[in-house]
Amino acid sequence: MQIHVVQQGESIFSIAGLYDSTPTAIIEANELETPGQLVVGQALVIPIVGQFYFVQPGDSLYTIAQRFGTTAAELARVNGIQESMVLPVGLRLYIPDQPPTSISTNAYIEPFGGEVSEALQTAAEQRSPFLTYLAPFSYEIQADGSLKAPPLDDFPAIAQANDASLMMVVTNLSEGGFSAELGRTILTNEGLQDTLLTNIINTAKEVGYRDVHFDMEFLPPELKENYNQFLRKAKTRLSAEGLLMSTALAPKTSAEQKGAWYEAHDYRAHGEIADFVVLMTYEWGYSGGPPRAVSPIGPVTEVVDYALSEMPANKIMLGQNLYGYDWTLPYEPGGEFAKAVSPQRAIQIARENNVPISYDQKEQAPFFTYTDPQGNEHEVWFEDARSIQRKFDLIKDRGLRGISYWKLGLSFPQNWLLLSNQFTIEKNQ
């Protein structure tokens, strides 16, 4: 696969010619609704075998080979040039595909209003081939240890048809938010824990779940060891039933990190107890905060590196958002929340308002600003092929278990193309 960033004056035809591809292939791969109206700065994925690289000032075959995980001798061979050749700027080099890395993938899917919409069912059908786990969100713990189940509709059948395992997500959500008091009720009462685990096991067997995933957030800091002890008990019971157990972890960079979302999440203990964890490495830019990239590469990398200091890489799944936000400016604390947008919708907004897309090299994320018909200024940050590629590079560089997406239902076709091109997805674990 090739990532191409649209430049001023380019068309779908000129881009296709640049990579020996066809307009139809590019249109279909990127699900372009208006291929005659490309946005300057828009990142396209070109479906070719391997990729092309255009020599930049200061490049050598050696530095290019290092960048793409190959050798200068191999690049010279496939391009029919001498290894000692001084490369002219702008020279097009062909970079052959490297052997794919094997990873696990997960995607949460969240029905609303007590039913699974047709759009969500379609998303599950389209994306389950790319998934190790499909995770309906969520089973809400009740104060008596029972569970409030999400609507499932055809999710189990869809997962089975695509060799994906079901992940049972268990949360302390109550009335739309994570409840500290519900967490306290469960984590300080052994009898309620036993009832809860029995209900979890019965449900997992009935529905056909492979993994039980605890996403308990906003827990009081003093309950850290209570949570650890509960997870130890859960792991013993779930393992006896042949079930895996995983947890979701807030994005910490040290064991001493303060804050209601962080202190009860013990990375070292979760790494020892759980079969794997999901790092919630997103929401630096969030709907109620100021405009920023949702998952900037610097902070994401810091969380990953801290996690690696507490647990092995093969237990870590990187959390990744499949959305961006559209903020109305000026940002005011407590004011209007930003609107969530899919990457495809973000590009449409830029096109509709005739503004170019910029790319923040530090954050490794695309963004743009525009003025709506009412005269309001907006700032949009989202994900594109370039930003997701940086996360894939991080997964490969650190040898992580895989990636976990929050959440299905928002269109981002470039992600799935790049994922399937670079990774072998583990199935039926």
pLDDT in tens, 319-346: 999 999 999 999 999 999 999 999 999 9
C-alpha to C-alpha distance for 221 and 254, rounded to whole angstroms: 15
C-alpha to C-alpha distance for 94 and 54, rounded to whole angstroms: 9
C-alpha to C-alpha distance for 19 and 47, rounded to whole angstroms: 9
Report domain extents, the chain: 2-95, 101-425
The residue among 260, 359, 367 whose CA lies nearest residue 324 is 367
For the segment 136-152, the average pLDDT, to the nearest whole number, is 97
Question: Which amino acid makes up residue 143?
Answer: A
Does the pLDDT value for residue 186 go beyond 70?
Answer: yes
C-alpha to C-alpha distance for 405 and 194, rounded to whole angstroms: 31
C-alpha to C-alpha distance for 353 and 192, rounded to whole angstroms: 55
Does the pLDDT value for residue 220 go beyond 70?
Answer: yes
Phi, psi of 261 (to 5 degrees): -85, -15
Question: Two tokens at 115?
Answer: 């039913």
What secondary structure, in 3-state letters, does the chain show? CEEEECCCCCCHHHHHHHCCCCHHHHHHHHCCCCCCCCCCCCEEEECCCCEEEECCCCCCHHHHHHHCCCCHHHHHHHHCCCCCCCCCCCCEEEECCCCCEEEEEEEEECCECCECCHHHHHHHHHHHHHCCEEEECCEEECCCCCEECCCCCCHHHHHHHCCCEEEEEEECEECCEECHHHHHHHHCCHHHHHHHHHHHHHHHHHHCEEEEEEECCCCCHHHHHHHHHHHHHHHHHHHHCCCEEEEEECCCCCCCCCCCCCCCCCHHHHHHHCCEEEECCCCCCCCCCCCCCCCCHHHHHHHHHHHHHHCCHHHEEEEEECCEEEEECCCCCCCCCCEEECHHHHHHHHHHCCCCCEEECCCCEEEEEEECCCCCEEEEECCCHHHHHHHHHHHHHHCCCEEEEECCCCCCHHHHHHHHHHEEECCCC
Query: Which residues are known catalytic residues?
Result: 217
pLDDT in tens, 302-325: 999 999 999 999 999 999 999 999
Q: What is the pLDDT of residue 231?
A: 98
Q: Above pLDDT 90, what percent of the chain?
A: 94
Question: Two tokens at 306?
Answer: 């801290």
CB 390 within 8 A of CB 364: yes
Rg (CA), the chain: 23
Residue with tokens 């048809």: 161
For the segment 133-152, the average pLDDT, to the nearest whole number, is 97
Does the pLDDT value for residue 394 go beyond 70?
Answer: yes
Mean pLDDT of the chain: 96
Quickly name the fold that domain 2-95 has. Answer: Membrane-bound Lytic Murein Transglycosylase D; Chain A (3.10.350)
CB 406 within 8 A of CB 106: no
For the segment 95-106, the average pLDDT, to the nearest whole number, is 92
Does the pLDDT value for residue 429 go beyond 80?
Answer: no
pLDDT in tens, 400-418: 999 999 999 999 999 999 9
C-alpha to C-alpha distance for 41 and 299, rounded to whole angstroms: 24
pTM equals: 0.93
pLDDT in tens, 28-73: 999 999 999 999 999 999 999 988 999 999 999 999 999 888 999 9
pLDDT in tens, 198-208: 999 999 999 99
Strands 244-249 and 209-215 come out as parallel
For the segment 273-295, the average pLDDT, to the nearest whole number, is 98
> What is the CATH class of 101-425?
alpha beta
